[in-house]
């Protein structure tokens, strides 16, 4: 099964999650996965939903692993083993104001931590993308960052302003990372996700921000603030690396567009129509 997912170019994280899902259901019944029936699999999911309160994402992950097992490994007809995915909950992203984030950054005295959090907010990159960003991925001559570890192994370029580049240069001169932009104590090994979360949690606490602040919250805030600054939705979609505009459009429900320039269609004044 691992080989099948590697051929499909699944990320190591996805492979690990799918394998773990099947191991858990196998251990639950003390049976090899190929001997577990459709009804047993459904009963297992029901148990996890009621007892462990698992999320829709975890359910979808288990169903995805189940489908690969049945169709690609055991070559069975999916209709005989199909499990319908749960309905997607449409949630509006939680965000911080720009003032809150700047206040949070002001509490960070460690240069490495400051560079990490500043880059996360200034670019809207995903946590995994930042932690696997390599030195060679930063094109300072063109003010661009190549995201080579994007979701689904999709690459994209993100512009980076001189202010953020200046922070990264100052950080590099002091820490001299070997391969990845942000590394732990061991050279050549990327900074850990738990360390990222911890420094963000502590910074938020010092800034007296009571809500839970995560790396993804910085990404949501970036997207919302970009819309509020006038960036068009298509451009934002490309920066965030979303497959569809529909995914990006959720930020329209969060952004404060009250200051946007909305034309008066009933005003026949030529100068107004021409934007003068």
Active site residues: 126, 151, 216, 219, 242, 251
User: CB of 61 within 8 A of CB of 18?
Assistant: yes
User: CB of 54 within 8 A of CB of 17?
Assistant: no
Residue 157 makes CB contacts below 8 A (sequence gap 6+) with: 144, 145, 146, 147
190 DSSP β-pair partners: 183
Other residues' Cβ atoms within 10 Å of the Cβ of residue 111: 14
Task: Measure Cα distances from 18 to 5, 12, 88, 159, 227 in Å.
Answer: 9, 10, 20, 34, 35
- Phi then psi for residue 224, to 5 deg, are -65, -45
Q: How far is the C-alpha of 231 from the C-alpha of 223, rounded, in Å?
A: 9
CA 236 to chain centre: 14
138 DSSP β-pair partners: 145
């Amino acid at each position: 099964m691992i080989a099948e997912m590697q051929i499909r170019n699944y990320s190591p994280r996805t492979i690990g999650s799918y394998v773990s899902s099947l191991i858990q259901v196998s251990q639950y019944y003390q049976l090899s996965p190929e001997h577990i029936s459709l009804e047993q699999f459904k009963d297992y999911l029901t148990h996890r939903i009621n007892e462990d309160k698992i999320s829709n994402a975890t359910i979808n992950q288990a169903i995805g692993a189940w489908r690969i097992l049945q169709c690609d490994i055991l070559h069975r007809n999916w209709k005989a083993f199909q499990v319908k995915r749960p309905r997607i909950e449409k949630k509006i992203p939680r965000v911080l104001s720009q003032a809150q984030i700047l206040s949070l950054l002001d509490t960070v005295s460690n240069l490495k931590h400051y560079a990490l959090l500043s880059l996360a907010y200034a670019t809207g990159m995903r946590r995994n993308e930042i932690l696997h960003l390599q030195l060679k991925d930063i094109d300072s001559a063109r003010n661009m960052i190549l995201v080579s570890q994007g979701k689904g192994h999709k690459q994209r370029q993100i512009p980076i302003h001189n202010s953020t580049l200046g922070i990264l240069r100052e950080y590099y001169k002091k820490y001299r990372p070997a391969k990845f932009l942000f590394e732990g104590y061991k050279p050549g090994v990327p900074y850990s996700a738990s360390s990222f979360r911890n420094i963000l949690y502590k910074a938020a606490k010092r800034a007296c921000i009571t809500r839970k602040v995560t790396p993804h919250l910085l990404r949501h805030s970036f997207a919302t603030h970009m819309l509020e600054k006038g960036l068009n939705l298509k451009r934002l979609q490309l920066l965030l690396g979303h497959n569809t505009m529909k995914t990006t459009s959720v930020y329209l429900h969060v952004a404060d567009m009250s200051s946007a320039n909305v034309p008066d269609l009933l005003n026949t004044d030529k100068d107004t129509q021409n934007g003068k």
